Amino acid sequence: MAARRISSLLTRSLSVSSSSVSTSLFSSLGKNSGRNGIGKRFSTAAALEDLIVPPVQIAYTQNLIDGKFVDAASGKTFPTYDPRTGDVIANVAEGDAEDIDRAVAAARKAFDEGPWPKMTPYERSRIMLRFADLVEKHSEELAALETWNNGKPHEQSAKSELPMFIRLFHYYAGWADKIHGLTVPADGPHHVQTLHEPIGVAGQIIPWNFPLIMFAWKVGPALACGNTIVLKTAEQTPLTALYVAKLFHEAGLPPGVLNVVSGYGPTAGAALASHMDVDKVAFTGSTDTGKIVLELAAKSNLKPVTLELGGKSPFIICEDADVDKAVELAHFALFFNQGQCCCAGSRTFVHERVYDEFIEKAKARALRRVVGDPFRKGVEQGPQIDTEQFEKVLRYIRAGIESNATLECGGDRLGTKGYFVQPTVFSNVMDDMLIAKDEIFGPVQSILKFKDIDEVIRRANNTRYGLAAGVFTKSVETANTLTRALRAGTVWVNCFDVFDAAIPFGGYKMSGIGREKGIYSLHNYLQVKAVVTPLKNPAWL
């Protein structure tokens, strides 16, 4: 029941946030921002000058290999930063090819000799459940660390993401002892069965936008299926993965089963993707990097690859939509997590009949958005992750202005330090503008006008991406037509960013290959083996 309550809180907070029943985090933020946002363009920017000191110490900065924290083979470290200021938080061991080699050797041994895949699934599930309990116990430190290193609102880390992380491990712990093969109908006197075996050593490369959630999406199914892991974190956010990996060992995970290497893509990441002793790679990140990862896998040992890549997801508001709810949801779909979501609803298609009203309200909502120190209560938006992303977002804003989209609000940085960007809304966006084609990965909403369903289907699908889509309508027919026609891995109808553990997530087209979460994610970490034997005088076939 506790789990159910936490989960439904999550779900609500991520979907029907504007409804009056909801007491969720998100709508209360909305109300706060209404109060704070009067008079000023972007509410609580004041807080940017007077930052809260994070209530957490950094204990783990080394690589975790074979159950031990160790320095990098080279002895090198790299700095990790506080996005609020650009100041260094800690120096972290910098993994490279040699560290990856050591980690893979440990994972290889833990797989080939055990104990992990030789333990019963029930034993594996117990360790995962104990781990979830430990994370729950340490939720406060972890949420603080996540916000400090990533810049996302602390309330989001603590009330939404940590409970979601725990829920995901409960989910996958439950799968461990429910992985069934099939017995298979034969064309002759044979007994045929399939075994679903762990695939071996999994290399996993995770991004910086949801460091802990991405850890759970990757590590959960791989461990439930009996694999061992070498995980490379994003260089921007190495801290929380090390912390939870430590807790995992406290929960009873044998050494070598989960190895965590901090480091950069072209060095540690490339070494992992091209390693000859890694049996599987899972990558979440940009489409450009995903292509390189797949190439490295193809050129080395043909390890199968799961890719979760970029998106330019349409959010479609039909003429029968409740405009107020649609505005709120479209705002959430784009601005959530500083716009740093691969599934961000970054092309807001609005029907011409409600377009003008929508623009006005979307602008008002963006102006009300509370931007500030993510540790401060009521703040909806923190800084972007780093200077590179910050500059990129500002470049796209300039491109939007130059291409003659109408800047309704925002358009610049906020404050003078850190990587804060004003919530920005463009209207009159055309499909051929860069801001309508590229993944901006920032708080920049692009609003496009449409006239009829066929047109919006064609335009929504006219992208190399196909990760997700939002549809806002009261009509069952419109909903059914759009959900089939949109070439996207997830369609949220009258909601957005609902991320239950059982809902598969992944992309069509250049948004990726394969699905994570849900029953589908298990295939990524299993090999299918057919076993055939003859039958003598079978009673039936």
Partner 1 sequence: MAARRISSLLSCSLSYSSLLPKGRFCGVGRVVSGYSTSAGIENPINPSIKVHCTQLLINGNFVDSASGKTFPTYDPRTGDVIAHVAEGDAEDIDRAVCAARKAFDEGPWPKMTAYERSKVLFRFSDLLDKHIEELATLETWDNGKPYEQSAKIELPMISRIIRYYAGWADKIHGLTIPADGPHLVQTIHEPIGVAGQIIPWNFPLLMFAWKVGPALACGCTIVLKSAEQTPLSALYAAKLLHEAGLPPGVLNVVSGFGPTAGAALASHMDVDKLAFTGSSETGKIVLELASKSNLKPVILELGGKSPFIVCKDADVDKAVELAHFALFFNQGQCCSAGSRTYVHEDVHDEFIEKAKARALKRSVGDPFKAGVEQGPQIDSEQFEKILRYIRSGIESGATLITGGDRLGSKGFYIQPTVFTNVKEDMLIAQDEIFGPVQSILKFRDMDEVIRRANSTRYGLAAGVFTNDLDTANTLSRALKVGTVWINCYDVFDAAIPFGGYKMSGQGREKGVHCLSNYLQVKAIVAPLKNPAWI
Q: How many CB atoms lie within 10 A of CB 388?
A: 11
Taken as a whole, the chain contains a residue count of 541
3-state secondary structure of 510: helix
Burial 299-335 (b: 16+ CB within 10 A, else e): eeeebbbbbbbbbbbbbbbbbebbbebbbbbbbbbbb
Of the pair 290, 378, the CB lying nearest partner 1 is at 290
Sheet with 305-308: strands ordered across: 68-70, 63-65, 258-261, 228-232, 201-205, 280-284, 305-308, 512-513
CA pair distance 472, 320, nearest whole angstrom: 8
Residue type, 411: G
Q: Which is closer to partner 1, CB of 48 or CB of 216?
A: 216
What residues pair up with 513 in beta bridges, in sequence order? Answer: 307
Q: Between 318 and 491, name the residue whose CB sits nearer to partner 1.
A: 491
Minimal distance, residue 446 CB to partner 1, in Å: 23
- Is the CB of 413 or the CB of 459 nearer to partner 1? 459
Q: CA-CA distance, 423 to 414, in Å (whole number)?
A: 9
Give the nearer residue to partner 1 in terms of CB position, either 417 or 487.
487
Least distance CB 376 / partner 1 (angstroms): 28
Cβ neighbours of residue 105 closer than 8 Å, sequence gap 6 or more = 277
Long-range contacts for 22-26 (Cβ within 8 Å, ≥24 apart)? 25/155, 25/156, 25/159, 25/160, 26/332
Q: What is the DSSP letter of 158?
A: I
Strand partners, 516: 505
Q: Which of these is catalytic: 146, 308, 408, 516?
A: 308
Tokens 């996993």 -> residue: 204
Q: Which is nearer to partner 1, 305 or 385 (CB)?
A: 305
Q: C-beta of 414: minimal distance to partner 1 in Å?
A: 33
Tokens 């690589």 correspond to 63
Q: How far is the CB of 8 from partner 1 (least distance, A)?
A: 4
308 is an active site residue: yes
Catalytic positions are 308
